[in-house]
Structure 1
Amino acid sequence: MRNVQPESEKPTSILFVCHGNICRSPMAEFIMKYLVEEVGLADRFHVESAATSTEEIGNPVYPGTRAVLARLGIDSSGKRARQVTPQDYQDFDLIIGMDSANVKNLRRLFRYDPDHKVSLLLSFAGEDRSIADPWYTDDFEVTYRDIRRGCEALLAALAD
């Protein structure tokens, strides 16, 4: 993968997206922020998250996700779910879906992704599979491990 941002330019902007923006995508947002802070690259990245649906707009991060983040010392209390917009395609360098349905919806919204900004998170870790939604599985640990693996691989690809 190409280095999206030379050091002298604007930060690389990443938007993580899931269905409701209360479980997986905020987990990815805050884990990515944590990882770039940990390696001293926070100034090189701008990270947010959003939803493909309107179901949870304005709601806080789901308690299971908050618990996982709290274990890492991450406070997500100010985060509220928002829906992805067509403008996000202009505003973000990378738009990363948590599952294949998210990616399909994003490509439709963004007129089939002419600039190839949309990806599946685990594709950065060499895996062509979705991250399970803990809203349905109630297994936030499996989701955390997959998101962490995807974010670490994404960071490695971008930091090269």
Structure 2
Amino acid sequence: MPKILFVCHGNICRSPMAEFVMKKMVAELQDGAGNDAAGLECAESRAAEKNCADFEIASAATSTEEIGNPVYPPARRMLERHGIDCRGKTARQMTLRDYEYYDYIVLMDRNNLRNLRWILPPAIYERECAGGGKVSLLMDWTGNSRDVADPWYTGDFEATWNDVNEGCRAMLTSLRNGQA
């Protein structure tokens, strides 16, 4: 069972969007409904059962600024517009225990990577900065290594929605194909 933690600065916009988008994509696979937007389907075979196994998906922040706050209203409205309910989600900060527990720590931008230095021990942080560990940028999964657009500064929640969907779709495809 892959365990994925999406991480952004405050855990009120990008990382909860990624958390709930990925949960929806995985649920659609498990229901056999497929997802035209993701281009994914679950076949009724033993191999497909493995590919559609349960995932554990969550999100967190690198900062303490928004702890306890709900998903930012424009981000929540964007999710709702696409049939995704994020009620009950509140911001929390990532911990070292999260790093140890999750298989994939998926960051929204390079600033999030720099901020991990306050969460991870120096040796682990250095190793993750060198690459090849469990930390990645979401857009790395698309083959186009760049930051997810930050709507807190741009106000462009549509661009963030598009980035999150593209990144989650690519990550899920890679995980299902055993390429991660």
TM-score (norm: length of structure 1): 0.88
Residue in structure 1 matched with residue 148 of structure 2 by the alignment = 131
Q: Does 1:16 pair with 2:33?
A: no
1:63 matches 2:85: no
* Alignment-derived partner of residue 73 in structure 1: 83
Q: Distance in 1 between matches of 2:57 and 2:105?
A: 10
Q: CA deviation at 1:43?
A: 4.4
Query: Deviation of residue 73 (structure 1)?
Result: 1.4
Matches within 5 A, 1:1-160: 11-40=1-30, 43-106=53-116, 109-110=119-120, 111-112=124-125, 113=127, 116-160=133-177
Alignment partners' CA distance in 2, 1:80 and 1:43: 26
How far apart, in 2, do the equivalents of 1:80 and 1:126 lie? 31
Residue 35 of structure 2 is matched in structure 1 by none
The separation in 1 between residues aligned to 2:52 and 2:12, in whole angstroms, is: 23
The code of the aligned residue for 1:14 comes to I
Identity %: 55
Work out whether residues 96 and 103 of structure 1, in 8 Å CA contact, stay in contact via their aligned partners in 2.
Answer: no
2 CA distance for matches of 1:23 and 1:86? 22
Cα offsets for 1:70-110 (capped at 9, x unmatched): 01211111100000001111110000000001122225633
TM-score normalised by the chain length of structure 2: 0.79
| Uncovered stretches (5+) of structure 1, i.e. residues with no partner | 1-10
Please tell me whether the aligned partners of residues 94 and 119 of structure 2 are also in contact (alpha carbons under 8 angstroms).
no
Gap runs ≥5 in structure 2: 31-50
| Distance in 1 between residues matched to 2:54 and 2:175, nearest whole Å | 10
Q: Which whole-Å CA distance do the structure 2 matches of 1:73 and 1:63 have between them?
A: 15
